[in-house]
């Protein structure tokens, strides 16, 4: 279940005795904890809210925290951050999903360290009293350890708090800028999200990182209540994909001086020539693929879904591809592949080769 599912459940007053929350998005995990705290701890927070260090936690400490009665409230909240017994479960997270049944049985028959203590934790979780809400908070991937999930299902629920998707992220960014008294148009909002890199495959960015960017840009915008692309460009780290688009566009327009200037900027930023060549080839290939899908009637969103790329990226491919045309794209791809092969084989100096490509990418 998602953060939205968890939030709706808590706001509807359907509060379980046990929650397991885990996932990569630390910002949403922290917000989920705060939401649960607001709805469970209704009085005397100094007595009815207990935070425990999972690394140094014993079964006895957790038992005592759960068994003591709340003061002046129906429930107390016990929060365990990164409990050690969950880490042990996470270490073997895929066993139940990937191994055959007979292999699983053999593994379960093998002696495991701290088996008795693990069993006591699981029994405790299954028997949390009505006067307590126990929150197990794990920052990272956990998988689906069967015994732990079964124990929690007895009187609680587990939620994987996943990273925000495009729709959720759009709402969140707009809301955060709004809290700073700033507005963004659709174009600027899309540009901010693309530049942030949050939705990039294998990105390690989280919403705390984006919140920092929102705060910096809002402060930089000063008295203006509208955030522009120029404000975003001035402060956000450059996105290589976006820079390659600009480079391809300037080459298509035969603006050689601009192309060489953009290339030099990328090299000064520490980008390798091999990486730049590979990105140029990749983007032209994608532009051709998007153009072909568009000819079959798919819009940018449909092309993005088919190619498994971001919609913003597909929109850029479509816009630049239309400008260059299919014949120009194919010529640019052939020239880029040829230069890339010449550089890799050592037939041409890499700096000279890429500069020549800037002057004659599309013929």
Using one digit for the tens of pLDDT, what is the confidence trace for 272-288?
999 899 999 999 999 99
114, 89 contact by CB (below 8 A): no
Cα Rg of the chain, angstroms? 27
pLDDT at residue number 105: 44
Using one digit for the tens of pLDDT, what is the confidence trace for 121-165?
888 988 899 999 999 999 888 766 677 777 787 778 888 888 998
Average pLDDT for the chain: 86
pLDDT at residue number 195: 83
Number of CB atoms found within 10 A of residue 54's CB: 18
pLDDT at residue number 145: 63
285, 278 contact by CB (below 8 A): no
pLDDT at residue number 201: 67
* Res. 174: pLDDT tops 50: yes
Helix axes 240-252, 311-324, angle to 10 degrees: 10
Q: In this predicted structure, which of 221-235, 298-312, 320-334, 335-349 has the lowest mean pLDDT?
A: 298-312
Determine the Cα–Cα distance for residues 175 and 208; give it in Å rounded to an integer. Answer: 14
pLDDT at residue number 277: 92
Q: Which domains does the chain show, CATH number per domain?
A: 3-160 (3.40.50.300), 166-235 (1.10.8.60), 240-360 (1.20.272.10)
The H-assigned helical ranges of 180-254 are: 186-196, 207-221, 229-235, 240-252
Q: With bands split at pLDDT 50, 70 and 90, how would you rate the model's confidence at 88?
A: low
> Is the CA virtual torsion 339, 342, 343, 344 positive or negative?
positive
pLDDT, average across residues 300-305: 89
Task: Please give the share of the chain, as a percent, with pLDDT higher than 90.
Answer: 53
Helix (H, G, I), strand (E, B) or coil at 349: coil
pLDDT, average across residues 245-261: 90
* Res. 231: pLDDT tops 70: yes
CA–centroid distance for 251 within its chain:
33
pTM: 0.68
Q: Which residue has the higher pLDDT, 64 or 55?
A: 64
Q: With bands split at pLDDT 50, 70 and 90, how would you rate the model's confidence at 361?
A: very high
* Res. 108: pLDDT tops 50: no
* Res. 326: pLDDT tops 90: yes
pLDDT at residue number 144: 63
pLDDT at residue number 242: 76
Q: Is 254 left (phi over 0), alpha (psi -120 to 50) or beta?
A: left
230: exposed, middle or buried (C-beta count within 10 Å: 0-12, 13-18, 19+)? Answer: exposed
* Res. 87: pLDDT tops 90: no
pLDDT at residue number 183: 95
pLDDT at residue number 104: 44
């Amino acid at each position: 279940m998602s953060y939205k599912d968890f939030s709706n459940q808590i706001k509807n007053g359907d509060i379980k005795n046990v929650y397991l929350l885990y996932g990569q998005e630390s910002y949403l995990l922290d917000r989920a904890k705060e939401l649960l705290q607001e709805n469970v701890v209704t009085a005397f927070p100094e007595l009815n809210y207990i935070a425990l260090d999972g690394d140094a936690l014993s079964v006895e400490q957790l038992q005592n925290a759960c068994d003591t009665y709340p003061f002046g409230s129906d429930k107390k909240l016990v929060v365990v951050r990164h409990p050690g017994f969950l880490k042990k479960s996470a270490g073997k997270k895929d066993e139940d999903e990937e191994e055959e049944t007979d292999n699983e049985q053999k593994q379960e028959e093998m002696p495991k360290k701290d088996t008795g203590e693990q069993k006591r934790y699981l029994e405790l979780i299954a028997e949390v009293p009505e006067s307590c809400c126990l929150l197990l908070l794990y920052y990272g991937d956990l998988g689906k350890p069967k015994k732990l999930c079964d124990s929690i299902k007895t009187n609680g629920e587990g939620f994987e708090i996943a990273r925000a998707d495009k729709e959720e992220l759009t709402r969140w960014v707009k809301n955060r800028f709004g809290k700073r008294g700033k507005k963004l148009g659709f174009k600027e909002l899309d540009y901010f999200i693309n530049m942030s890199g949050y939705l990039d495959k294998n990105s390690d960015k989280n919403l705390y990182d984006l919140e920092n960017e929102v705060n910096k840009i809002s402060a930089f915008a000063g008295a203006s209540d509208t955030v522009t692309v120029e404000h975003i460009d001035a402060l956000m780290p450059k996105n290589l994909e976006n820079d390659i688009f600009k480079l391809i566009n300037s080459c298509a327009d035969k603006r050689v001086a601009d192309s060489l200037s953009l290339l030099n900027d990328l090299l000064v930023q520490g980008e390798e020539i091999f990486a730049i060549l590979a990105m140029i080839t990749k983007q032209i290939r994608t532009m051709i693929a998007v153009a072909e899908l568009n000819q079959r009637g798919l819009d940018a969103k449909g092309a993005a879904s088919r190619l498994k790329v971001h919609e913003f990226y597909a929109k850029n491919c479509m816009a630049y591809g239309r400008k260059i045309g299919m014949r120009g794209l194919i010529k640019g791809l052939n020239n880029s592949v040829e230069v890339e092969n010449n550089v890799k084989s050592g037939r041409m100096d890499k700096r000279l080769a890429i500069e020549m490509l800037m002057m004659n990418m599309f013929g």
